[in-house]
Structure 1
Amino acid sequence: MDKPVPPGLGGNFREQWAVQRRVIGALLMREMLTRYGRQNIGFLWLFIEPTIVTLLVAGIWTARGLNQFSGIPIVAFAITGYSAIQLWRNMSRRCINAIEPNQALLQHRPVKMLDIYLARMFLEIAGTTTSFVVLSVVFSLFSEQISPPEDILKVAFAWFLLAWFSMGLSITLGALSELSSLVEKFWPPAIYILYPLSGAMFLVSGLPHGMHEIVLYIPLVHANEMLRDGFFGSHFVAQYDLSYLIAWCMGLSIIGLGISRLTVEHRLS
């Protein structure tokens, strides 16, 4: 007589998917309680924090009169740019060295290393997306400085691709950090280098012509250009290659999952 298969280690796809959902859901709740606790505003800080930071950036840019140099709505420029920064920055930072403090959870057979990464990334996506949507809606309704998105489907698809890229990047960095401690030291300064190069603070059409081909090698620039094209594309000429961005998303996802598998084998050896 065959022995029963432990939960999460066999069964059909539907059973496996049910176990996966429960595991990630439990990890999400644990992460929220660990990070934000039950006191004061608790998990509300998940999207209040990025909202406050984005508002400060938009306020500073407006106070400096940057909106006087072009017809581009500066508040929309700040919201789209800094929200995008927070997405890939926070997700990557949360995945680096994420396994060490959660190593005891891996003693439970249904819990995998990837589940820990997914729980942390979903939490960041939820907070940043909520902040992005709330800011866009509030300013569109109660402020003359920003109009509703010109193409909301393009905005949603660009945000999805940005989240996908950020997930692939975060899994790759998280898995690499388990193999080498240099990742933890290398990535923080790399973030500050990527800030001005990611397209969050400029439009490709506003750069000198010789810089166009150079910055378009950076996939984040394509995501930001597409996001702003959906928001206020009539105010500028967007330059992005959708196939190039999707290729990067797929490539990072495959590389990240491959390195994660190597990391598991390294831990077991």
Structure 2
Amino acid sequence: MYKSLMDSLRIQRRVIWALMMREVITRFGRENLGVLWLIAEPMMFTLGVTALWTSAGMNHGSSLPIVAFAITGYSSVLLWRNAVNRCNSGIQSNASLLYHRNVRVIDVFVTRVSLEMAGATASFIILATFFSAIGWIAPPEDPLLVVAGWLMLAWFGAALAMVIGAGTAYSEIVDRLWHPASYLLFPLSGAAFMVDWLPASLQKVVLILPMVHGVELVREGYFGATVRTHHDMAYMATINLVLTLLGLFLVRDAGKRVGSR
């Protein structure tokens, strides 16, 4: 039984690796920066927002450094949003591969989520390290809290990616609805504000969104006692768990639907 399990894991590893290589070559090619675009894209977006905020003198009515505020906010959003966006078209663009015996829908999603999250994480680390080295921002007050918040956001992104990605196997309406929904969620995600800056009535509304709790925890770890944060990790973990279970169920059923076509 142990040997059979190890054989299955080796096959799974080869499948995931092959899908990653195919995804990287298809998206980025073999020339210019190649796979480095996976890191460069989120870095360029975050730097663009940071430059705009800095040039406009937008400090959001607080003493927080704009650069650190933008990096912690927009990097966190890109972590979960990019993963969902890539899985949204995962089944359609890999439909031919799903007829291979060892390739499953879950493999496609794991591949895409892993690549997007690796790129967003590397972008965040590089930007934070660089700006800390040149003295523009201070290092995080509590790196463990930053990591905890980051992992919770990654879990949320992976779970939501499975739900949305598998949902496209049922109807293309899911794909059409997600795009406007992602734009609406972006300004509500906590990237551009702290919950404490909002009126009490609005705080209760935005805290319904689980990703806001994760961003608040990241910023608590980064800025420490200089900010007052509002988060409930038990609530976020519960939502993440529900999304994960729903996502796994939908992924399994989506695989059956694809295989029966």
* TM-score, normalization by structure 2: 0.95
1:167-195 CA distances to partner (integer Å, 9 max, x unpaired)?
Answer: 00001000001110101111111111101
Q: Give 1:49 shift.
A: 1.3
Q: Which residue of 1 aligns with 2:192?
A: 201
What is the aligned counterpart of 1:148 among 135, 139, 142?
Answer: 139
8 Å CA contact 1:150–1:233 kept in 2: the answer is yes
8 Å CA contact 1:23–1:110 kept in 2: the answer is yes
Give the Cα–Cα distance (whole angstroms) in 2 for the partners of residues 246 and 208 of structure 1. Answer: 25
Q: Give 1:11 shift.
A: 5.8
Q: Which residue of 1 aligns with 2:56?
A: 64
Name the count of aligned residue pairs.
259
Q: Which residue of 1 aligns with 2:106?
A: 114
* TM-score, normalization by structure 1: 0.92
Give the Cα–Cα distance (whole angstroms) in 2 for the partners of residues 161 and 12 of structure 1. Answer: 33
Give the Cα–Cα distance (whole angstroms) in 2 for the partners of residues 137 and 214 of structure 1. Answer: 34
Q: Which residue of 2 aligns with 1:174?
A: 165
Q: Which residue of 1 aligns with 2:211?
A: 220
The equivalences for 1:4-153 within 5 A come to 12-67=4-59, 69-144=61-136, 146-153=137-144
8 Å CA contact 2:99–2:259 kept in 1: the answer is no
Letter in 1 for 2:128: S
8 Å CA contact 1:154–1:230 kept in 2: the answer is yes
8 Å CA contact 1:168–1:253 kept in 2: the answer is yes
* Distance of aligned partners of 1:101 and 1:11 in 2 relative to their CA distance in 1, 3 Å threshold: farther
Give the Cα–Cα distance (whole angstroms) in 2 for the partners of residues 224 and 116 of structure 1. Answer: 27
The secondary structure found in structure 2 opposite 1:67 is coil
Q: Max radius of gyration: which structure?
A: 1
Unpaired runs of 5+ residues, structure 2, are: none
The secondary structure found in structure 2 opposite 1:103 is coil
The secondary structure found in structure 2 opposite 1:237 is coil
8 Å CA contact 1:97–1:178 kept in 2: the answer is no
Q: Give 1:198 shift.
A: 0.8
Task: Among all aligned residue pairs of Structure 1 and Structure 2, give the percentage whose two residues are the same amino acid.
Answer: 44
The secondary structure found in structure 1 opposite 2:95 is helix
Q: Give 1:239 shift.
A: 0.6
* Distance of aligned partners of 1:46 and 1:268 in 2 relative to their CA distance in 1, 3 Å threshold: closer
RMSD between aligned alpha carbons? 1.5
